C-alpha cells in the first residue's frame, strides 16, 4: 500500500474510498464514476465488471468496537442508495452504456489501530 499504510485519523472516509477503489480495480472492475451526488443521496463508487453495473457503498471504521462497517448500511441507507442509483441511470450523461445486470455491493474497511494492515471485505450483492 505504500505511502498510505495506515488510515489518517481525520480523513478515514476518503482514505477508505481510495482503498476500496484500488481493491476493485485489482479485481478487474472499471471505475465508472466516484462520489456520484444527487438530491436522493450519494453513491461512493459506480463500477463495472463484464456486463454488470455495480453501485458500491464504502463503509469504514477505525475498529469494530461499534460493530462492523457493513452493519451501518441499514434499511434507510439502502433506500437512499437505490434512489440515487435510479437517478444515475436516468442521468443522460451516464445513460449511453447498457448493462445486462445491476447490483449493490458494499466494501467494508476496518483500519485497526497501530498502522496495521487494513481489513477489506467486499460483499457482493449485499442487498
pTM above 0.85, yes or no: yes
Q: In the numeric block, which cell numbers belong to residue 47?
A: 463500477
- Local structure of 41: helix, strand or coil: strand
pLDDT in the model for residue 113: 77
Q: In the numeric block, which cell numbers belong to residue 106?
A: 458494499
pLDDT of 38 above 60: yes
- Domains, the chain, in order of start with CATH, read 8-108 (3.40.1350.10)
Find all residues with CB under 8 Å of 116, minimum gap 6, and list them: 6
Band the pLDDT of 1: cuts 50, 70, 90.
Answer: very low
pLDDT single digits (tens) 108-120: 999 877 778 999 9
pLDDT single digits (tens) 59-69: 999 888 888 89
Burial class (CB in 10 A: 0-12, 13-18, 19+), 48: middle
Find all residues with CB under 8 Å of 33, minimum gap 6, and list them: 45, 46, 94
Average pLDDT over residues 43-68: 93
Amino acid at each position: 500500500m505504500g505511502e498510505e499504510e495506515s488510515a489518517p485519523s481525520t480523513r478515514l472516509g476518503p482514505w477508505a474510498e481510495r482503498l476500496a477503489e484500488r481493491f476493485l480495480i485489482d479485481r478487474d472492475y472499471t471505475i465508472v464514476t466516484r462520489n456520484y451526488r444527487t438530491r436522493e443521496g450519494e453513491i461512493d463508487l459506480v463500477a463495472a465488471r463484464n456486463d454488470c453495473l455495480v453501485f458500491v457503498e464504502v463503509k469504514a471504521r477505525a475498529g469494530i468496537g461499534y460493530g462492523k462497517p457493513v452493519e451501518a448500511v441499514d434499511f434507510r441507507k439502502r433506500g437512499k442508495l437505490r434512489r440515487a442509483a435510479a437517478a444515475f441511470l436516468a442521468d443522460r450523461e451516464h445513460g449511453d452504456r447498457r448493462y445486462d445486470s445491476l447490483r449493490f455491493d458494499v466494501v467494508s474497511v476496518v483500519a485497526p489501530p497501530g498502522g496495521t494492515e487494513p481489513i477489506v471485505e467486499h460483499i457482493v450483492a449485499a442487498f
